[in-house]
Amino acid sequence: MSTASTGVDTASHCPYCALQCAMTLTRVSTPVDVTLSVAGRDFPTNRGGLCKKGWTAAEVLSSSDRLTEPLLRTEDGTFRPASWDEALDFVAAKVHEIREESGPDAVGVFGGGGLTNEKAYQLGKFARLALGTSRIDYNGRFCMSSAAAAGMRAFGLDRGLPFPLEALDDADVILLLGTNVAETMPPFIGHLEGVRSRGGLIVVDPRRTPTARLTDDGAGLHVQPAPGTDLVLLLGLAHVVLAEGLADLAYLEARTVGLEKVRRDVAAWWPERVQSVTGVPVATIRDVARRLAAADGAYVLTGRGVEQHADGTDTATSAINLALLLGLVGSDTSGYGTLTGQGNGQGGREHGQKADQLPGYRKITDPAAREHVARVWGVEPEIIPGPGVPAVELLGELGVPGRIRALLVHGSNVVISAPDAGAVRAGLRALDLLVVSDFFLSETAQEAHVVLPVPQWAEEEGTMTSLEGRVLRRRRAIDPPPGVRDELWILSELARRLDAPGRFDLDAEAVFDELCRATAGGPADYSGISYPLLDSGAAVHWPYPTGSTGTPRLFRERFAHDDGRARLVSVRPASRPEPAGVDGTLTLITGRLLEHYQSGTQTRRVAELAEVHPHMEAQLHPVAAERLGLTDGDLAELTSPSGTVQALVRLSPDIRHDTVFLPFHYPDLESANLVTRSDTDPISGMPEFKRTVVQMRLVQANLVEARNA
């Protein structure tokens, strides 16, 4: 492990989202300590820009409540500090006992899309070899799973953006479906300036978000459908494209299969019918379809707003179908993509922390994949377990007799971020062993029997794969606090104590080299990549087989299916539960605020970010508020069959009358996931985060005034 030296600038990337803005980290030494300062660094994605979270990221390193020693739960329910040996011996003994009594699947692993490629890879290997469990999945299931499943079935490959972000600069039309990039990836909007100047930005969101407002003054169009109706809207757009002869028939003939079935599906969705379901006017539906078809360069991009639904895979599929009908995918000037969310949401879904997956985006059920990976791991293929279950199902098995008795969590705060969070917390409490590795006592760590303190982003080496499939170096710029140990070390020490077969290297570069070998020949092939290549500054986009120069643009000549063709997949709207609006109910949608990241473990600890929205606020239209007898500043509660959550009422004309919005970044009574349900998409396992029917009622009038008085 190298020791950071004073006065040296380190080139790295932001710890948070998948835009992975480039940063320069500079060590600042004072008589009492050494800290880092952050500056934006010129890079094709962020062009020197950072958002507030990036600017303040270094503060989280020196936060006073960093964990610096392992914690063990005592008989009376509190924590006491322990040595690493004691903590790891305890975990290994308990895991061993549970495995002996209940079999290897009684021990589960929950990973995260924020982990480096090296850690994600090692976690998957650890689960299969050291624990022998099939029960591993990760928070990317809550994030990218629907778009990934849709991409796999349409193109045979899932890379969020199959083109570099800079390509958007020259677009004439960009259709943004369910994403609020102005708050979730602020420097991204630099890439929308060109399309706005040409009047071609189209934003589809039930809320008039800061992103939707970028369409004002002739820059484009904001389309405001009822939540959860995007599938129908997209069928309507495809209907107009086919009915008006706007489809690229030569492209469809040469590069796709499945047109006839999709033609039949969309025939039933004429614009008037689509308007009655979505609320989007017929003229707008026709206008959007015609603009997309007429553009020289057109892009269709999806975000969580359309993907986090029980029909998220089909909705993403219908966005892909639209892009294929228009001949956009694989062109040099147009495209389709999904905006990956977490810092390593892309790499995190390639290297084996997913229940059904081996490194290189290989299928765990594929005998050839098992054979290849087993060879790299130095084991027999038979000892690699089969597929496990997706995240929500895995969390549903916690503490259930005959199912999961122990869980290891690396890089997720499920007590806040999983759907039906009350039930998840109860599941964690029913476990015989919960081990959480984190750098803070997150709400999930608070439930643990053992907490293991790990370094943060600027204290360790590794790689991340950004939203454009570009592999980036994360570099160590400062030493971690004494007492913390990195996850490669933790996994290696546990593997040793559990007598695991195979090697568990401590050094990130050695793990990366092994990862590259494990991915050779797989869909996400990293075999030609190395730390020296990344350190040279080369733009490295996977697939990057040995001897190649990488693939900034995918699908130019062929798609990844055996016949080289993309699939138009037939999708039909399922019959859905009654929409909100009856009996005074509202549709709750959940999402993000600019200032907070995910479960808020990190950003709630930065004063400058926390003070902007100290409490959860429910965005509500004045018309809905009047109907419910609520006004601005009231404390209200929202209730669903899952539970109840409290929020301050914030009146806003920027949301539909039938809809209420909550951010999910807060703990305790303000945790939005207390009311979301654990229903999932049958294909991807994605929870329905963006469509919960709720009742809303007053708890206390004028709380804000009362607080300020």
Ligand X SMILES: Nc1nc2c(c(=O)[nH]1)N[C@H]1C(S)=C(S)[C@@H](COP(=O)(O)OP(=O)(O)OC[C@H]3O[C@@H](n4cnc5c(=O)[nH]c(N)nc54)[C@H](O)[C@@H]3O)O[C@H]1N2
Total chain residues near ligand X (CB under 6 A): 61
Q: Which is nearer to ligand SF4, 20 or 587 (CB)?
A: 20
143 or 298: whose CB is closer to Mo ion?
A: 143
Any idea how long the chain is? Answer: 709
Binding mask 343-382 for ligand X (x = CB under 6 A): ----------------------------------------
Task: Kindly tell me the burial class for residue 554, based on how many C-beta atoms sit within 10 Å of its own C-beta (0-12, 13-18, 19 or more).
Answer: buried
User: Is 10 one of the binding residues for ligand X (CB under 6 A)?
Assistant: no
| Closest CB 203 distance from ligand X, rounded Å | 9
Residue closer to ligand X by CB (options 14, 247) is 14
Question: What DSSP letter does each residue of 472-538 carry, written as one string?
Answer: EEE---SPPPTT---HHHHHHHHHHHTT-SS---SSHHHHHHHHHHHHTTSSS--TT--HHHHHTT-
Query: Could you list the residues that contact ligand SF4 (CB under 6 A)?
Result: 14, 16-17, 19-21, 46, 50-51, 53-54, 185-187
Closer CB to Mo ion, residue 143 or residue 204? 143
Pick from 202, 571, 589, 651: which binds ligand X (CB under 6 A)? 589
Which of ligand SF4, Mo ion, ligand X, none does 21 bind, CB closer than 5 to 8 A by kind? ligand SF4
Choice between 331 and 340, CB closer to Mo ion: 340
Q: Which is nearer to Mo ion, 70 or 341 (CB)?
A: 341
Instruction: Give the tokens for residue 589.
Output: 């949608």
Distances (CA, A) of 616 to 321, 414, 548, 603, 638: 38, 18, 49, 14, 12
Between CA 650 and CA 661 the distance in angstroms is 10
How many angstroms separate the CA atoms of 158 and 520, rounded?
17
When asked if residue 255 is in the footprint of ligand X (CB under 6 A), the reply is no
283/240 Cα distance (integer angstroms): 11
With CB under 5 to 8 Å by kind, the binding choice for 187 among Mo ion, ligand X, ligand SF4, none is ligand SF4
Q: Is 85 helix (H, G, I), strand (E, B) or coil?
A: helix
- Closest separation in Å from C-beta 353 to ligand X: 12
Residue 236 or 341 having the CB closest to Mo ion: 341
State the binding partner of 14 from ligand SF4, ligand X, Mo ion, none, CB within 5 to 8 A by kind: ligand SF4
Work out what residue 186 binds among ligand X, Mo ion, ligand SF4, none; the CB cut-off runs from 5 to 8 Å by kind.
ligand SF4
C-beta of 630: minimal distance to ligand X in Å?
Answer: 20
Residue nearest to ligand SF4 (CB): 54
When binding is defined by CB under 6 A, the residue of 227, 312, 550, 643 that contacts ligand X is: 227
The total of other beta-carbon atoms located within 10 Å of residue 520's CB is 16
Written as six digits, the tokens of 434 are: 């919960």
Cβ 621 vs Cβ 655: under 8 Å: yes
Q: Which does 591 bind (CB under 5 to 8 A by kind): Mo ion, ligand SF4, ligand X, none?
A: ligand X
Burial (CB count within 10 angstroms: exposed 0-12, middle 13-18, buried 19+), residue 569: buried
Question: Tokens at residue 489, please?
Answer: 């070390």
Q: Which of 359, 468, 653, 382 is nearest to 46 (CA)?
A: 468
Q: Which of Mo ion, ligand X, ligand SF4, none interacts with 360 (beta carbon under 5 to 8 A by kind)?
A: none
Q: Which of 40, 591, 643, 667 binds ligand X (CB under 6 A)?
A: 591
Cβ atoms 415, 428 nearer than 8 A? yes
User: Which of 311, 310, 314 minimizes the C-alpha distance to 322?
Assistant: 314
Burial of 100 (C-beta count, 10 Å sphere; 0-12/13-18/19+):
exposed
Binding partner at 110 among Mo ion, ligand X, ligand SF4, none, C-beta below 5 to 8 Å by kind: none
> CB neighbours of 521 closer than 8 A, spacing ≥ 6?
360, 372, 527, 545
Task: Work out what residue 306 binds among ligand X, ligand SF4, Mo ion, none; the CB cut-off runs from 5 to 8 Å by kind.
Answer: ligand X
The residues binding Mo ion (CB under 5 A) are: 143, 341
Least Cβ distance, residue 187 to ligand SF4 (angstroms): 5
Residue 492 binds ligand X, judged by CB under 6 A: no
CA distances from 576 to 208, 232, 582, 692 (A): 25, 12, 15, 12
Cβ count within 10 A of residue 199: 15
* Binding partner at 20 among ligand X, ligand SF4, Mo ion, none, C-beta below 5 to 8 Å by kind: ligand SF4
Q: Does 597 bind ligand X (CB under 6 A)?
A: yes
Gap between the Cα atoms of 465 and 117, Å rounded = 8
Q: Applying CB under 6 A, which residues contact ligand X? A: 17, 112-115, 139, 142-143, 177-181, 183-185, 204-207, 209, 227-228, 230, 303-306, 308, 341-342, 410-413, 416-417, 437-440, 442, 454, 487, 589-592, 594, 596-599, 601-602, 664, 672-673, 676, 689-690
